[in-house]
Structure 1
Amino acid sequence: MAGISLNNVRKTYAGGVSAVKGVSLDIEDGEFIVLVGPSGCGKSTLLRMVAGLETITDGEVTIGDRVVNKIEPADRDIAMVFQNYALYPHMSVYNNLAYGLKNRGIGKAEIDRRVREAARILEIADYLDRKPRALSGGQRQRVAMGRAIVREPAAFLFDEPLSNLDAKLRVQMRIEIKKLQKSLGTTSLYVTHDQLEAMTLADRLVVLNGGQVEQIGTPIDVYENPASTFVASFIGSPAMNLMEIERSGEGWALSRGEGLSLTCSLNETSAILGLRPEDLHIIEGDGAINDPLMLSVVVTAVEPVGAESYVHATLGETGQEIIVRAPGKQHFEVGSVLKVAAKKEKLHFFSSETGKAIALEGNLQPA
């Protein structure tokens, strides 16, 4: 096993198209890192450069204590699990697992030991004589993972391995991958566009956007302290509500709408206010509110999802759309008016110009 280090890694294609723009990242030995971001953000390209399947335009990739920029993929001591399984259809499960080891000249006894141990770990020992066509999607993915395990590599690389599975099976396989990685303790680099998958698997997340790193951190830190509006809107389902605010006398107000009294050290004349749907609570009756933000919203749609409901609404004067997460047992009529509030520690502020998080100093007071 070994750590992986990326030092200012870049990838530029012919015509000057820049896919990866100077990514630096240190992955500790045994750590599970997830690269997450939308399609085209450079995450798969970055993974393929670590694997040796893409040439590196600039920068260095180190696996263990070796710079591997010019080392062939087969000699990098990594194992890759692909989205499409890449199994040999004419071979049995046993031979699919053993094939790469045979090509490396490993002895029959050692091959048999590794294959049967991987089959035991993945619970596919009963399927060793079957061909891939006789397996379910989840079983095929286990075989693909088993082929990586038998290599006993320094690192695992996962390229969206669950994308072809149905929703229920994805949840099951997600849990199995997490348990497997922890039991083996192998350094792992995992690519996905699914933020829920990323949150549940990662020791640390690397959020990518446009070939650049937006934020690196533990899943809970990235969720609770997003570094930019991009991270705030990408991580979390439903996404964070983002609203423009502007100076209003001594305080601040939602643009063209209701007010919020804010006394703090902030140089900008406008900013973006962020609120997670679960951090907005519905006010019953006319009781006094001590929260720094209270809004009247009009319900436009309700999504009941069992234990909770997502209430879609608009702010009266602004037309700004927001989502409020509420208990599933509550009933809401479309067109009804709700009062919602948020506590001061739940408010996030971002620069209108850069989208980066703003650290505030001062007090938040009720409107």
Structure 2
Amino acid sequence: MASIDIKGVKKVYQGNVTAIHGIDLAIGDGELVVLVGPSGCGKSTLLRMIAGLETITEGTIAIDSAVVNSREPAERDIAMVFQNYALYPHMSVRQNLEYGLKNRGTPRAEIDSRVAEAARMLEIEPFLERKPRQLSGGQRQRVAMGRAIVRQPKAFLFDEPLSNLDAKLRGQMRVEIRRLQHRLKTTSVYVTHDQLEAMTLADRLVVMNGGRIEQVGKPTEVYDRPASLFVAGFIGSPPMNLIPLEALKNIVGSAVLKDLPTETDLIGVRPDRMQTGEGEGFVLTGTVDLIEPVGGESHLYLHVEEIAAPLVMVMPGRPDLSEGAVVPIRLPLDALHPFSTRTGLRTD
């Protein structure tokens, strides 16, 4: 295991195109950190620089306190799991697992021991003599993970490893990856654009946008207190409702919102914090435009006359409401998130 320290790292491509803008990030020994963000935000580029697959324009990356900028990927003692599995199609599962160890001159007995342990952990023992083409997508991904595990590296790097799997398999593999990481306690950096993966896997989330870090924190911290409008909109499904402050003041009066920082001009509220009925906070009146049943909960899309964009509210079960119904929408005061559209940042 090892810590990974990223200091002032910048990546500029030909034509003066900057993909990474001076990132600083410290990843602790044994920690699972998830880099999350939309396509093109720089998360995979950063991962590839840690792996040594991309050169670093400026700054340093240290693994286990040793700067690795000039080291080849094979010299960094990391193992990478790719979204396309990257298995050798002409080799059996066993041969795929053994390949890297044999190249390093590992003794035969140790190879057999490591392969047997990885196969047992990943429940791929029945497939050891099969070729990759004879396996399902989930089984191939287990083999790809097994190939990384047998290396016993200082760190695992995952580049969107579940994106080729269907929803059910993704859920199963998320559990498997988290269970394995807890067991092995190997420092891991995981890249995904899927916020559900990010929220359920991470010890800490790193939310990226435009080659920069927007926020770093535990998943619950990032969800409960987004640092910017980008994070507020990207983390959470449905995303946070964003309401112009002036529109709210016109509805409930300035006195209710008098204690907000002066630069605030936008108020955010999570759909799952909005409520109906009486209680603390203030109440808006909305008309139900659409009800979406989503398993054990329902998403209500509401029109409030003074607010241009529809509001989304999450309610448990299947509420006894119909489209066109007029409902009170209560916003608890502790559910409000103040932002500035000028800076794009939280104001409190």
User: Which residue identity is paired with 1:340?
Assistant: I
Q: Does 1:272 align with 2:266?
A: yes
5 Å-filtered alignment, 1:17-96, equals 17-96=17-96
Match of 1:106 in 2: 106
Contact 1:257–1:318, Cα closer than 8 Å, also in 2: no
Q: Does 1:347 align with 2:332?
A: no
Name the one with the larger strand percent: 1
Contact 1:294–1:342, Cα closer than 8 Å, also in 2: yes
Q: Which runs of 4+ in 1 moved over 6 A?
A: none
Cα deviation for residue 113 of structure 1 reads 1.0
Between the aligned partners of 2:233 and 2:261, the Cα distance in structure 1 is 23
Between the aligned partners of 2:322 and 2:260, the Cα distance in structure 1 is 40
User: Which residue identity is paired with 1:216?
Assistant: V
Contact 1:245–1:273, Cα closer than 8 Å, also in 2: yes
Cα deviation for residue 177 of structure 1 reads 0.1
Cα deviation for residue 220 of structure 1 reads 0.4
Cα deviation for residue 256 of structure 1 reads 6.4
Between the aligned partners of 1:336 and 1:16, the Cα distance in structure 2 is 55
Note closer, same or farther for the CA distance 1:14–1:256 as it changes in structure 2 (3 Å cut).
Answer: farther
Between the aligned partners of 2:279 and 2:167, the Cα distance in structure 1 is 42
Q: Does 1:334 align with 2:323?
A: yes
Between the aligned partners of 2:47 and 2:253, the Cα distance in structure 1 is 46
Kindly, what percent of the aligned residue pairs are identical?
A: 59
Between the aligned partners of 1:159 and 1:135, the Cα distance in structure 2 is 21
Between the aligned partners of 2:310 and 2:344, the Cα distance in structure 1 is 19
Cα deviation for residue 263 of structure 1 reads 2.0
TM-score computed with the length of structure 1 as normaliser: 0.92
Between the aligned partners of 2:174 and 2:146, the Cα distance in structure 1 is 15
Contact 1:257–1:316, Cα closer than 8 Å, also in 2: no
Aligned-residue CA RMSD (Å): 1.3
Cα deviation for residue 317 of structure 1 reads 2.8
5 Å-filtered alignment, 1:222-261, equals 222-246=222-246, 253-254=247-248, 259=253, 261=256
User: Which residue identity is paired with 1:151?
Assistant: R
Greater alpha carbon shift after TM alignment, 298-307 vs 151-160: 298-307
Stretches of structure 1 lacking an aligned partner (at least 5 in a row): 247-252, 284-288, 360-367
Between the aligned partners of 2:27 and 2:306, the Cα distance in structure 1 is 48
Cα deviation for residue 319 of structure 1 reads 2.7
Contact 2:84–2:161, Cα closer than 8 Å, also in 1: yes
5 Å-filtered alignment, 1:186-197, equals 186-197=186-197
TM-score computed with the length of structure 2 as normaliser: 0.97
Q: Does 1:318 align with 2:307?
A: yes
Residues 100-157 of structure 1 show CA distances to partners (whole Å, capped at 9, x for unaligned) of 1111111211111111111011111111111111111111000000000010000000
Between the aligned partners of 2:148 and 2:19, the Cα distance in structure 1 is 27
